[in-house]
């Protein structure tokens, strides 16, 4: 009996091992098949050819002519088109020409002495330089050729001469001698009376008090003494 059970256990163990080996082989085969399928590139079929859309024929405006001419809600509707008159732009005014003070030629070509506008400082200009809004194209001893806004102007030196008269200096009015300041009026004479209290029963003199020394007012006597700094005035009580 024991030998039979032992044999049966060995058979079962062998079957379990065989089953595990079969499952592993199937797993490895399935994994290999999966890797192979994942690595293959499947070619996508070309997109189907689409037929081009039919061309849209533009609707001519003449087909709506009758609708425009028979518009019931607009009395001024008619086939006559009134165009706005074309107004030509006003020509740009030519700016004032530069002022000329002469032309010099020291052997290196003519040089014009010009000012961009009246009253402006003058400088030396050669052909091809800008003078204000004008371009100096060419020159000789008597004429200058300017270019502005695509147009050329030939001017003689006499036409460009600066004839503005120099400003006249107005004579300055002679300054009147300063008048001496009027002396302030003398202060009115003060009334003989003692002023502010100086302590020790003495009182100060009021400015402008011209009463003589020894004057007695309200029981106070005016005392004037001579000091190195001038006269000293005070009021003392009468004893």
Cβ pair 116, 124 in contact under 8 A: no
Ordered DSSP codes for 122-148:
PEEE-TT-EETTEEEEEE-SSEEEEEE
pLDDT band at 3 (very low <50, low <70, confident <90, very high): confident
Fold of 99-156: SH3 type barrels. (2.30.30)
Q: Is 62 helix (H, G, I), strand (E, B) or coil?
A: helix
Place of tokens 């086939």: 79
The CA distance from 184 to 168, in Å, is 45
Q: Which two tokens stand for residue 52?
A: 């081009």
Q: How much is the pLDDT for 169?
A: 62
* CATH 2.30.30.830 domain span(s) along the chain: 99-156
Cβ pair 148, 134 in contact under 8 A: yes
DSSP state at residue 161: B
Cβ pair 209, 190 in contact under 8 A: yes
The CA distance from 65 to 74, in Å, is 15
pLDDT tens digits for 181-224? 666 666 556 567 777 776 667 787 877 777 888 888 888 888 88
pLDDT tens digits for 128-144? 999 999 999 999 888 99
């Amino acid at each position: 009996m024991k030998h039979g059970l032992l044999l049966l256990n060995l058979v079962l163990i062998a079957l379990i091992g065989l089953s595990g080996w079969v499952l592993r082989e199937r797993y490895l085969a399935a994994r290999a098949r999966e890797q192979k399928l994942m690595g293959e590139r499947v070619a996508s079929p070309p997109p189907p050819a689409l037929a081009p859309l039919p061309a849209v024929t533009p609707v001519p405006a003449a087909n709506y002519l009758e609708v425009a001419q028979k518009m019931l809600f607009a009395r001024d509707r008619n086939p006559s088109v009134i165009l706005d008159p074309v107004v030509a732009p006003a020509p740009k005014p030519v700016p004032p020409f530069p002022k000329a003070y002469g032309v010099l030629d020291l052997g290196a070509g003519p040089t014009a002495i010009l000012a961009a506008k009246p009253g402006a400082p003058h400088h030396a200009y050669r052909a091809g330089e800008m003078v204000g809004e004008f371009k100096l194209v060419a020159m000789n001893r008597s004429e200058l050729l300017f270019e502005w806004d695509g147009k050329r102007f030939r001017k003689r030196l006499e036409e460009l001469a600066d004839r503005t008269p120099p400003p006249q200096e107005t004579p300055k009015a002679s300054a009147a001698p300063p008048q001496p300041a009027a002396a302030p009026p003398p202060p009115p004479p003060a009334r003989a009376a003692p002023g502010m209290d100086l302590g020790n029963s003495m009182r100060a003199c009021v400015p402008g008090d011209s009463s003589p020394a020894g004057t007695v007012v309200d029981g106070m006597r005016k005392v004037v003494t001579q000091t190195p700094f001038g006269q000293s005035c005070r009021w003392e009580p009468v004893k």
